[in-house]
Structure 1
Amino acid sequence: MRAAFQRGHGSTTRTAASARPAGLVALRLGLAALFPVPAGAEPAPPLTIHYLERRIERPTPLNNEDPVPDDEGARGAELGLRDSNATGRFVGLSFALETRVVEPGQELAAAFRALGAPRFLVVNAPAEDVLALSDLPEAKDTVLLNIGAPDTRLRDRDCRARLLHVLPSRAMLTDALVELLVFKRWTRILLVSGPEPGDRLYAESLRRSARKFGARIVAESSFDVHGADIRDSALREFALVTRGPEHDVVAVADEANAFGTNLVYNTASPRPVVGTQGLSPAGWGRAVEAWAAVQLQGRFRKLAGRAMRPIDYAGWLAVHAVGEAAVQLKSIDPAAIRTLMLSPRFEVGGFKGRPLSFRPWNGQLRQPLFLLWPGAVVAAAPVEGFLHHRTDLDTLGLDAPESACRAFSGGTG
């Protein structure tokens, strides 16, 4: 590795959950079914967790791909609720979930005010909406858990003290990808970017990750389909944009999937495609099964009738983290829960083989990420050999010296 790092050698109301590392999660859920709360026990009032989503308009997918589900994120939060209730009953706690979805063009602030005074709000919305909610005077006592905006700036200069990030940032995703490329010595990258704002941000993040770990962008090109269907012309058009100096991989920045899928096997040279398509970094995926993740996958499929997507996982983990903090405290006091969640002693299980925790300098959840293609998990990041003086999880995304966030009072954790 390079720089600061060292590379070694080798609107509904429902009720639901929480946990620790995967085995303990499964054990708690099983025991909850075997030992329900005695009939005469006096239940405590539930802690209500709110879920607020901005529905966004998405382009029609190419290649007969499945569209993004309308309930993406919300279903994950619902499963998190179920799991939190299953474990909370051991200490006499219960949880409720109130969900509100705002259509494109509608005012998100009005929807927030309609929730009353939420203390924990899971937010599935673009970055501008997340910031607007964070800055509402009415939200001064609300902890927001971001599950929909990967924008690194929310963990950097635009951070907020009560804003926690369960979804990995773009910086974390591209760091995970470049770690694997460097590990495999595929360090010469040809970058192809789309025209959308998210594509530009992903490309910028990829450049930063390349500099961080010692890889090199040898050439760049842009591609814009201009509303045309490029499936019939992909063989010819992609050969043009992927010609350049000798390279090991073709990296694509196409978050809307306007062309990236068609780039695979259509490059000028026989090279792997990585990035938003091809070999892709993600917080979760259908192929993840290790560390008892298959149990979470099965429970989600039973609930939602489909595979668990990364934002579903983030929704589950956001509710689960609040529930776990309450269970550890044996209390539903919001201030105490927030304090614990941001403390160095808080850990939460996420079916990823190791405990997860929030970074005290910008509120980002530390977590392993997966390098996936549709059929399998290729690797997990942090990749072997990438070291850090605190935890190798902090090789992914903005480390404390890199982050311009000043809203958090915590140090380097």
Structure 2
Amino acid sequence: MRSWILLLIIATSLMNHALAASFHLAIVTASNAEESNRGRSFAGIQTRVERPVRRAVELALFESKTSFEAFGIVPELQVVDIDAKRSLKDQLKAIHSNALIILDLPKPEFIETAKLLDERGQTTVNVRHPDIDLRDTLCLPSLYHTIPSERMYFDALGQFLIYRGWRKVLVVHGPTDKDRLRTQILERSLKKFGANISDFREFTLSHHPDDRDKNKPEFLTGDASYDVVAVIDSSKDFGRYIQYSTRRARPVVGDVGLTPAGWHRTLERYGAPQLNERYQSFDQENSLPASEAMSDEEFAAWSAVKLITNSLGTIDAISETLDPRKILAHPDTQVDLYKGTRGSIRRWNNQLRQPILLATGDAVVAVAPMPKFLHPKHYVDTLGLDEPESRCKLR
């Protein structure tokens, strides 16, 4: 009897090997792009880091090894580093037509590449940009977003403030177009959940004494009544001085203090510590240099791969190659995100619905959606652009 079982296992293994299907996966980067991936302050302090997502992709593939073996799938990872001096169309031809393509690019290159690949019907994933326009006005059928949108982040923050009873908000924001746009998005989120904005104050990075009303937190936050200060500072430079320097003793949220996040190293529930541990041990086992904690962008890339590999046994998408389009477009596709609720795709704009963490530097304080914020179809859809307000209507 045992010999028959052994023969069956061997035969199944040989059959899977003989009928092996390929899972083509590509990461498109632009290592020489002009956009800097490191922010630095006047004193040379590193304030912002954007790391490549390849490590997280490789971890997701490693975790899926058993599933690949069971279904006779061979993963093939390809990295395409775009050279601005060469034809973009020609460089993208090297990518298999059925590949899952993760776009790890600055926004201008991202949009150009996503449009070209959409024309070819190839499946792409946004793992870096939370910008609303990519999900609302760009609205490409083959483009999916596993990084949370800016609205999802700010809606989570707005829910938390109302939940805590901090309804009067002083908004302090930067002078750049990006900061002003993000401030408008924050304003919509705060009003959506019933918060009141006490005032908007714009800071400047100037150190001139005549600008002290705009460059010193104690002056910038004076002459107003508020429960909390919300900071919009994409540079991550000025905002680090706000905490403990406000005129009134109030909590600080937004880009500093309590911040919304897609992932955090200190989440202690839902199996999250095990994922963080696997991320660190994966470096050691594969002789990679020790990494910092997984970022939102890396978590988004990991999620993109796991959306595919978690669905291998439930959705028929395997022939000679694995077709990621069939999986991502299927209404039953879900993924365990280790945040208490399984992730799934919003049909109207291809956004991965997911909880948002509210965290300080060393603790997750809450997981949004917060209690009492209800939705008629899916409670996570209280975060971000809901179908009725979205201009993108893919399905």
CA distance in 2, matches of 1:324, 1:255: 35
Q: Which moved more, 1:297-306 or 1:321-330?
A: 321-330
Give 1:355's match in structure 2, choosing from 314, 321, 342: 342
RMSD of aligned Cα (Å): 2.9
Task: Report what 1:206 is aligned to.
Answer: 186
Give the conservation status (yes or no) of the 8 Å contact 2:356–2:369. yes
Do residues 181 (structure 1) and 193 (structure 2) align?
Answer: no
Do residues 266 (structure 1) and 245 (structure 2) align?
Answer: yes
Deviations along 1:40-77, one digit per CA (max 9) or x if unpaired, are 45421321111112343032256845762643x22111
Q: Which moved more, 1:114-123 or 1:198-207?
A: 114-123
TM-score with structure 2 setting the length: 0.85
Give the conservation status (yes or no) of the 8 Å contact 2:349–2:392. yes
CA distance in 1, matches of 2:347, 2:331: 8
Give the conservation status (yes or no) of the 8 Å contact 1:371–1:380. yes
Matches within 5 A, 1:201-350: 201-226=181-206, 237-304=216-283, 305-306=290-291, 307-329=293-315, 331-333=317-319, 337-350=324-337
How many residues matched? 370
| DSSP-derived class of the 2:365 partner | strand
Shift of 1:303: 2.7
Do residues 127 (structure 1) and 127 (structure 2) align?
Answer: no
Shift of 1:336: 5.5
Deviations along 1:141-163, one digit per CA (max 9) or x if unpaired, are 21111001100111112211111
Deviations along 1:134-187, one digit per CA (max 9) or x if unpaired, are 221675221111001100111112211111100000000000000000001101
CA distance in 2, matches of 1:296, 1:367: 17
Matches within 5 A, 1:69-80: 70-71=51-52, 73-80=53-60
| Structure 1 residues 104 and 393, CA gap change in structure 2 (3 angstroms) | farther
Task: Report what 2:390 is aligned to.
Answer: 403
Do residues 46 (structure 1) and 22 (structure 2) align?
Answer: yes
1:240 corresponds to which letter in structure 2? Answer: F
Task: Report what 2:352 is aligned to.
Answer: 365
**Structure of higher RCO (CA pairs closer than 8 Å, 6+ residues apart):** 1
Q: Which runs of 5+ in 1 are unaligned?
A: 1-34
| DSSP-derived class of the 1:401 partner | helix
Give the conservation status (yes or no) of the 8 Å contact 2:317–2:326. no
| Structure 1 residues 299 and 185, CA gap change in structure 2 (3 angstroms) | same
Give the conservation status (yes or no) of the 8 Å contact 1:47–1:332. no
CA distance in 1, matches of 2:204, 2:256: 16
Aligned-residue sequence identity (percent) comes to 31
| Structure 1 residues 338 and 211, CA gap change in structure 2 (3 angstroms) | same
| Structure 1 residues 349 and 218, CA gap change in structure 2 (3 angstroms) | same
| DSSP-derived class of the 2:124 partner | strand
Give the conservation status (yes or no) of the 8 Å contact 2:158–2:195. yes
2:221 corresponds to which letter in structure 1? Answer: T
2:103 corresponds to which letter in structure 1? Answer: V
Shift of 1:403: 0.2
CA distance in 1, matches of 2:44, 2:265: 19
Deviations along 1:187-213, one digit per CA (max 9) or x if unpaired, are 111111112333223211100101211
Task: Report what 2:3 is aligned to.
Answer: none
| DSSP-derived class of the 1:357 partner | strand
Q: Which moved more, 1:371-380 or 1:337-346?
A: 337-346
Shift of 1:87: 2.3
Deviations along 1:87-132, one digit per CA (max 9) or x if unpaired, are 2222222322212344788875554334354531011223333321
1:267 corresponds to which letter in structure 2? Answer: T
Shift of 1:225: 1.1
CA distance in 2, matches of 1:36, 1:397: 50
Give the conservation status (yes or no) of the 8 Å contact 1:124–1:149. no
Task: Report what 1:387 is aligned to.
Answer: 374
Q: Which moved more, 1:103-112 or 1:368-377?
A: 103-112
2:371 corresponds to which letter in structure 1? Answer: E
Task: Report what 1:91 is aligned to.
Answer: 71
| Structure 1 residues 36 and 138, CA gap change in structure 2 (3 angstroms) | farther
CA distance in 2, matches of 1:234, 1:244: 11
CA distance in 1, matches of 2:92, 2:66: 28
CA distance in 1, matches of 2:188, 2:298: 28
CA distance in 2, matches of 1:367, 1:384: 15
Give the conservation status (yes or no) of the 8 Å contact 2:99–2:324. no
Give the conservation status (yes or no) of the 8 Å contact 2:156–2:369. yes
CA distance in 1, matches of 2:227, 2:78: 48
Task: Report what 2:132 is aligned to.
Answer: 152
Give the conservation status (yes or no) of the 8 Å contact 1:127–1:154. no
Shift of 1:259: 1.3
Deviations along 1:321-358, one digit per CA (max 9) or x if unpaired, are 12223343354357854233223222111111221100
2:303 corresponds to which letter in structure 1? Answer: L
